[in-house]
Copies of this chain bind each other. A is one copy, B any other.
């Protein structure tokens, strides 16, 4: 299998985050790689192992997940085309969660050590992967808020908003809705709900006009309204380019605050 420029979708994503030079892209493209199709449900990373390769999602979707001791599944994140699926293994010795294809997916497989060498030897790439990792962490944080503090209806709506916005940001345009190959049970595992309650909540969202469904394709009749209802604020996705060298401007001075009113700052609007 030759090496097509099919990491393009990764470049698109990284380029959006930082200013990547042609040499950096060339260095990535020059890495040994092969592309592979993973069937629905196929494993890409298994918890407890240390893969010697890194996978980049080229097409389709993948999920991160963990199981509790009594076998209940929690989906931790949904990855879309362009997302590195196990960049974390450049830094961690053991996978702490599992990654599986959602629907049929296409991935690029790159030897971990080779990728690590290139990424760590090129400042722009080091930076790009660091930013990517921090954005992932920010998404985990928002999911904690979503699952911990929003009701079923808002949780689902928020999830849909996130995916729609991330797809758009990557230029995987979704003017007329987007296809999301998740069963209602999987939606439940992503939102900590049962499939039964997902079903009912989806119906309510639909009846209220916040979403429209056609099979597993989701559309927003009024996207702004849905975002508002779900408390979705895209800031946590850090979509813009993250400036590298920044001039300091704010000043730290000893704030101290407690008491009822302003105990903590505001979050999403």
* B148 near A74: Cβ-Cβ < 8 Å: yes
A63 to chain B, nearest CB (A): 10
Q: Is B256 touching A96 in the complex (CB atoms < 8 A)?
A: no
From B68, B150, B192, B243, give the contact of A231 (CB < 8 A): B68
Asked, given contacts A53-B252, A144-B76, A250-B50, whether A98 binds B136 with beta carbons under 8 Å apart, the answer is no
- Nearest to A254 among chain B residues (CB) is B36
User: Is the C-beta of A219 less than 8 angstroms from some C-beta in chain B?
Assistant: no
- Note all chain B residues with C-beta closer than 8 A to A236: 96
Question: Cβ of A112 < 8 Å from any Cβ of B?
Answer: yes
In angstroms, Cα B154 to Cα A68, docked, is 11
In contact, B141 and A49 (Cβ under 8 angstroms)? no
Q: How large is the interface on A (under 10, 10 to 19, 20 to 34, 35 or more residues)?
A: 35 or more
Q: In this assembly, does A72 line the interface, its C-beta being within 8 Å of a C-beta of chain B?
A: yes
Q: Hey, what's the 0/1 contact readout for A140-152 against B, CB within 8 Å counting as 1?
A: 1111110111100
* Residue of A97, A235, A263, A264 with most chain B CB atoms under a 10 A cut-off: A264
Question: Is A22 among interface residues, defined by CB-CB distance under 8 A?
Answer: no
* A contact set with B: CB distance below 8 Å: 36, 38-43, 46-53, 64-70, 72-74, 76, 88, 90-94, 96-98, 100, 109, 111-113, 120, 123, 126-127, 130-131, 133-138, 140-145, 147-150, 192, 231, 235-236, 238, 240, 242-243, 245-252, 254-258, 263-269
